[in-house]
Amino acid sequence: MTHQTSATTRKDSSMIKMIGVIGAGQMGNGIAHICAMSGFNVKILDAAEPQLAKALATISKNLDRQIAKGKLTEADKAAGLARISTGTQYSLFSDCDLVIEAATENEVVKKQIFAQLCPVLKPEALIASNTSSISITRLGASTDRPSQFMGMHFMNPVPVMQLVELIRGIATGEDTFAIVKDLVARMKKTSVSAEDFPAFIVNRILLPMINEAVYTLYEGVGSVESIDNAMKLGANHPMGPLELADFIGLDVCLSVMQVLHDGLADTKYRPCPLLVKYVEAGWLGRKTGRGFYDYTGEKPLPTR
């Protein structure tokens, strides 16, 4: 049963006052940050209280950085933080107009989340997923409101990056898309529309490049530093592909490559065995202190 109500026939985001965010990790706290600073009331849900405290501390620190650059005042920060509340129970979202899921990039986990979320939402509420690669059509079909479900893929770090990919599932209503597109503009972000194909636009192009960089390392064509310096200085990339992989998280890189490989059935998307090994070792990049670089010292050092 789908809930298409008169509330979602308004094609702008004026209906959205309260936004829920599921997941207090790097993406979730970034999304909450920009929602709050765009004037929306925000509720962040996570299973772990310490993760919620950490998210609020991160948001506060990032706001301080903006104050130091003259982009915000202390009053702006105080007002923004006052708009954020947190909790560990899905009932937190009973009055939300939109809930953005920003949990781990795992389809089973996301579907379990939606199963718990849908019963507490009001009928007219919209749901968006921040997935970077998983089928929006499949995720939407697992909810009670596929016409009010779509992809809203923010880039990392959210407060800095300008782009949001907007993805319609096959059942996504035009009104839902129009409301979310208008919302992104109110957040002072730029949206691009992507079709519901594995990994959408950015990761369809970016992750195979990263995977190829890992193959270049695996095959001994160049060292970690050689590969990263070559792409920074030879292609004018702000960050080398292996450094970027560490920043994204090697587990996330691997999961996107697996989605591409499974979804498009093309051997060119086969994850590099070295990437698989690093993930198996728990070397996931910056978040674990070790990936293609070791982050435990004063300066990151290549691990190969």
Position 12 scores a pLDDT of 85
CATH of domain 6-194: 3.40.50.720
CATH of domain 202-302: 1.10.1040.50
Give pLDDT tens digits for 217-260: 999 999 999 999 999 999 999 999 999 999 999 999 999 999 99
Give pLDDT tens digits for 17-34: 999 999 999 999 999 999
Position 10 scores a pLDDT of 53
Position 7 scores a pLDDT of 45
Position 221 scores a pLDDT of 98
Q: Is 74 exposed, middle or buried (0-12, 13-18, 19+ CB in 10 A)?
A: exposed
CA distances from 124 to 7, 44, 72, 145, 147 (A): 6, 20, 34, 9, 11
Is 165 considered catalytic here? yes
Position 73 scores a pLDDT of 97
Reduced to 3 states (helix: H, G, I; strand: E, B; else coil), residue 231 is: helix
Per the prediction, the chain carries an average pLDDT of 95
Of 13, 41, 133, 203, catalytic: 203
Position 11 scores a pLDDT of 73
Position 5 scores a pLDDT of 44
Of 29, 132, 147, 255, catalytic: 132
Q: What share of the chain is helix, strand, coil (3-state, %, to 5)?
A: 50, 15, 35
CB 76 within 8 A of CB 50: no
Of 101, 129, 130, 153, catalytic: 153
pLDDT > 70? residue 2: no
**Whole-angstrom distance, CA of residue 72 vs CA of residue 299:** 31
pLDDT band at 1 (very low <50, low <70, confident <90, very high): very low
Give pLDDT tens digits for 121-165: 999 999 999 999 999 999 999 999 999 999 999 999 999 999 999
Residue ranges of the chain that CATH labels 1.10.1040.50? 202-302
Please give the average per-residue pLDDT across 72-79, as a whole number.
Answer: 97
pLDDT > 90? residue 184: yes
Of 33, 41, 105, 165, catalytic: 165
Residue ranges of the chain that CATH labels 3.40.50.720? 6-194
> Which residues are CB-neighbours of 137 under 8 A, at least 6 positions away?
146, 169, 170, 171, 196
Is 132 considered catalytic here? yes
Question: Who has greater pLDDT, 74 or 1?
Answer: 74
